[in-house]
Structure 1
Amino acid sequence: MSTSTPAPKKRQRKSDAAVPIVATNGTLEADASTSMPPPPQTPNNKRRRVANGSAAKAPPITPTPSAIGIMTSASVLRPTYSTGDVDDATSPPIERPAEPHHTNATLVTPGGTQVQASYSNFEETSPTRANAVTTTTDLLEVACAHLTSVDPELQSLVSKHRCRVFSAAGLAEEIDPFRSLSSGIMAQQVSGAAAKSIKNKFISLFPAEQCPTGFPPPAIVAETSLTRLREAGLSQRKAEYIQGLAQKFATNELTARFLLDASDEDVFSSLIAVRGLGAWSVEMFMCFALKRMDVFSTGDLGVQRGMASYVGKDVKKLKAKGGGKWKYMTEQDMIETAERFRPYRSLFMWYMWRIEDVDTEAVENN
């Protein structure tokens, strides 16, 4: 084939629409084929270049929360068990203390027992209200007030989009940590539809009476052979990852209590050490499942794009250098920009998705 630049029409292939977007850490961001136009792919060879004079391709869309929807949704439920989805119907929220650097969600043990943070271990006063203890009822209000006090220009964005993730209803949800992390592994490198199918098949491998939360407990998964786990459609490596994660929980190396009360740094370092959990997966779990308020991901393409727009860059004109991955901002620039919004960088990150209209519907309405 000639190396000269062919006409643009000859380089457009229908198969491109089926290729998932992958975050910078290698984890699947989302499958956008069912909800929005196919994203342009990162150039990986010389033949993919656009001819001069033709309409420039838009930067890749980054519906990252579609993958998060797999992580925070359940397929089999007990009557009083929440899926963990933001809009799931739960009992009226009970007001309790909330703290940015601790887990604000209610976690569920493998046996189905609810566990909440040991609030006696800390008393967090709001950075915007002297001598006032922040609660699950007003955490979102306090966090939004902090963001807009740091940068008043964010007020219009905050007023337009309400983040239900950290609302009283969102914080009242029950989260099964093993289920969420296992689901995140299942969603890596596959479409959203494929991940849901694998998850349903995985759950069906185990008798319902052995799954009090609607998901197989880690002790049973740890004892199940890899061959059996692969019957759900898991690759050999993913089966190994999930079995290894199950062993961590079964031996109490990871527990709901630890994930509730440990510092952000300790939770991150413990989870990143588990095979199959990359930085992006851990950060999304800490933010959307544990409801920790000061999580910030520099490896998420949607966050990069939103922050570039936030600081005044024209993201439509940004291109990947050297034919590599798209990069809207450097990691250091992102960290320095977000630093001012501590201890509510999770909410700041959510608004960076919204600033460029990244699709968060999967998180809001899954």
Structure 2
Amino acid sequence: MSLRRSTRLSANNVPDVPKTESPNGVSHSNVKKPSTATKKRKSKALAASAAAPTQDGPNTDEASFLTGIIKVPDDQFTVPDVPTTPKSKRRKAIPDSSSLPPPLTPTPSGVGLMSASSYGHPLENLAADKARPAEPYATNAPLSTPGGSRVVAYASSPAKPPTGSQNDNQSLNKKRKPKEIVPPDVGALRPPTSTTDTLLKDACLHLCSVDPRLNDLIEKHHCKMFSPEGLQEVVDPFTALSSGIIGQQVSGAAAASIRKKFTSLFEDTHPAFPSPTQVVEKDIATLRTAGLSQRKAEYIQGLAEKFTTGELSAQMLVSASDEDLIEKLVAVRGLGRWSVEMFACFGLKRMDVFSTGDLGVQRGIATYVGKDVSKLKAKGGKWKYMSEKEMLDVAAPFTPYRSLFMWLMWRIENVDLSVMQSS
């Protein structure tokens, strides 16, 4: 009895040891149970290891997405961390600007970015160059190419009067006939009728011959766009069209900011606009980091592809007729008829462009023909001021200089209306 009692007492004096379970299910008593703090540390470590990128590329799982961190390769662009906020404090999503209707009037963002002086293009201004042949139906601006050269409609110089004495000229005519000046083979182009020095003057004379009342309006508003200086500005067609897309449905300040961010994505050419090849090499997600909507990013990349493949080129834009030009460019996603007409007028410096769908032109012509514009506002609709047929009939006599006539109609309401009254 005493032996058994002592055995029980010695067993009771042994300290308790935490039990553990072996893989075969047998319990052991040599390991401590993990505390609550230890469990929390382990769960944090597991979460950190799950969010770490693998060797194949950046982690794109749901946990990484919810943290607001977007990882792209170092040679492209890095977006700073965006902290998440509770759903109740998040702002309402801003609607995609591409879903809004296109503008109907020339805006600083849509048209201002098409002017050559806004490009920051590395090619120099050609103001020191000599006068070139020009023609109302032709592209009168020199267009740049990705290689750094430029394309003009008429490569030959204007014909100069012969020099020397009258006898020398007569003897020269007996020996050979004067060489006929033939315009270069550029498709639908007509023989030149002016030079870059005289084109604006010829246009003003024609407009005043049709309606002398326009003389005061012309004197008050000098059109630099078609002046000799304006016609020497080099235009990059891809830059002009892309800038027009950037400026759609946004303010001028916003368009300039987006354009600056867009060019900064291309370190090799910044602050100049990138080439079509550079844009094609970037993915849509990278282009969107400049502030472009999904559609605008797709439009600009699609436009770049057409220039890269040769479907669009400076030579084509120089030689195409007005009808072919509009047909080919309207087929490009993101370029509506209004955008193409503005590019043809402000970018290519074509002289016979007339946009009937422009609300500002409608309003100006309605004022020009003597209508009370204030009473026409309530009508609404696309043709709230004048019908398309009425506009075409009014502008027809000013052909082939309707671009200048359209430009004046935008400014007519800033002028004393008495100049438009019939004498």
- The two structures have a TM-score, normalised by structure 2, of 0.64
- Counterpart of 2:392 (choices 324, 335, 354) is 335
Q: 1:68 aligned to 2:124?
A: no
* Alignment correspondent of 1:344: 401
* Alignment correspondent of 1:39: none
* Alignment correspondent of 1:167: 227
Contact 2:109 2:252 in 1 (8 A): yes
* Alignment correspondent of 1:264: 322
CA positional deviation for 1:158? 1.6
Q: 1:142 aligned to 2:209?
A: no
C-alpha separation between the residues in 2 aligned to 1:346 and 1:26?
Answer: 25
Contact 1:139 1:166 in 2 (8 A): yes
Q: 1:178 aligned to 2:228?
A: no
CA positional deviation for 1:324? 4.5
* Alignment correspondent of 2:256: 196
Q: 1:155 aligned to 2:215?
A: yes
* Alignment correspondent of 1:298: 356
C-alpha separation between the residues in 2 aligned to 1:320 and 1:112?
Answer: 51
CA positional deviation for 1:162? 1.5
Indicate the SS of the match to 2:143. Answer: strand
- Greater mean alpha carbon deviation, residues 268-277 or residues 216-225: 216-225
* Alignment correspondent of 1:227: 285
CA positional deviation for 1:76? 4.2
1:208-245 CA-to-partner distances (Å, cap 9, x unmatched) read: 34x7x921100121221001110111111111100100
* Alignment correspondent of 2:170: none
Contact 1:124 1:134 in 2 (8 A): no
Q: State the structure with more CA Rg.
A: 2
C-alpha separation between the residues in 2 aligned to 1:63 and 1:258?
Answer: 25
C-alpha separation between the residues in 1 aligned to 2:120 and 2:344?
Answer: 23
**For this pair of structures, how many residues does the alignment match?**
285
1:32-82 CA-to-partner distances (Å, cap 9, x unmatched) read: xxxxxxxxxxxxxxxxxxxxxxxxxxxxxx56355311222545443x435
Contact 1:186 1:234 in 2 (8 A): yes
C-alpha separation between the residues in 2 aligned to 1:64 and 1:330?
Answer: 22
* Alignment correspondent of 1:95: 131
CA gap of 1:345–1:325, structure 2 versus 1, over 3 A, is closer
Contact 1:97 1:136 in 2 (8 A): yes
CA positional deviation for 1:27? 2.6
1:80-138 CA-to-partner distances (Å, cap 9, x unmatched) read: 435xxxxxxx532420100111100000012221111145245546xxxxxxx311100
Contact 1:75 1:200 in 2 (8 A): no
- Letter of the 1:341 partner, please give it: F
- Counterpart of 1:108 (choices 144, 147, 168) is 144
* Alignment correspondent of 2:268: 208
Q: 1:311 aligned to 2:369?
A: yes
> Mapping of 1:233-272 within 5 angstroms?
233-272=291-330
C-alpha separation between the residues in 2 aligned to 1:245 and 1:324?
Answer: 31
1:295-323 CA-to-partner distances (Å, cap 9, x unmatched) read: 000111111110001111011222232x5
CA gap of 1:65–1:99, structure 2 versus 1, over 3 A, is farther
Greater relative CO (CA pairs within 8 A, separation 6+): 1
* Alignment correspondent of 1:37: none
- Counterpart of 1:27 (choices 102, 105, 112) is 102
- Letter of the 1:68 partner, please give it: V
RMSD: 2.2
C-alpha separation between the residues in 2 aligned to 1:214 and 1:81?
Answer: 13
Contact 1:81 1:174 in 2 (8 A): yes
CA positional deviation for 1:247? 0.4
Identity %: 60
C-alpha separation between the residues in 2 aligned to 1:287 and 1:143?
Answer: 14
C-alpha separation between the residues in 2 aligned to 1:107 and 1:233?
Answer: 28
Indicate the SS of the match to 2:297. Answer: helix
- Letter of the 2:408 partner, please give it: Y
* Alignment correspondent of 1:120: 184
CA positional deviation for 1:339? 0.9
Q: 1:281 aligned to 2:281?
A: no
C-alpha separation between the residues in 2 aligned to 1:324 and 1:116?
Answer: 41
Indicate the SS of the match to 2:352. Answer: coil
